């Protein structure tokens, strides 16, 4: 009998030597840097500053395309992934395959 795995499980099933997350510029950073809390809704300026700071980290990251492709494929609904917030990723997702979208967005 063949083993069944979900598409999300397959996204995480990466050989350690091919795991882009190990090379991410954000590795080891506080996740709050990339994810806004509900408290941030009251202070849009602070939220915008945090998002801009997170995107700056992404812009210099060597695995930005992989991160963005993952976020689109996994349907990540929150946070900055691959240099894009959730709204930007949703808009990009309406345009084609996740690999094509990520390549176009990062180029």
Residue 1 has a pLDDT of 44
Q: Which of 79, 63, 72 is nearest to 23 (CA)?
A: 63
> Hey, what are 16's tokens?
């350690």
pLDDT tens string 63-77: 999 999 989 888 899
Q: Considering only 2-6, 44-48, 79-83, 99-103, which range has the smallest mean pLDDT?
A: 2-6
Percent of the chain scoring above 90 in pLDDT: 37
- The whole-angstrom separation of Cα 30 and Cα 69 is 22
């Amino acid at each position: 009998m063949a083993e069944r795995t979900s598409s999300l499980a397959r996204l995480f099933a990466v050989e350690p030597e091919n795991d882009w997350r190990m090379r991410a510029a954000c590795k080891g950073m506080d996740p709050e840097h990339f994810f806004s809390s509900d408290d941030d809704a009251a202070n849009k300026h602070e939220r915008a500053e945090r998002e801009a700071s997170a995107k700056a980290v992404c812009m210099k990251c060597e695995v930005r395309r992989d991160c963005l492709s993952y976020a689109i494929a996994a349907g990540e609904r929150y946070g900055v992934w691959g240099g894009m917030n959730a709204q930007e990723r949703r808009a990009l997702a309406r345009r084609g395959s996740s690999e094509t979208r990520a390549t176009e967005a990062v180029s």
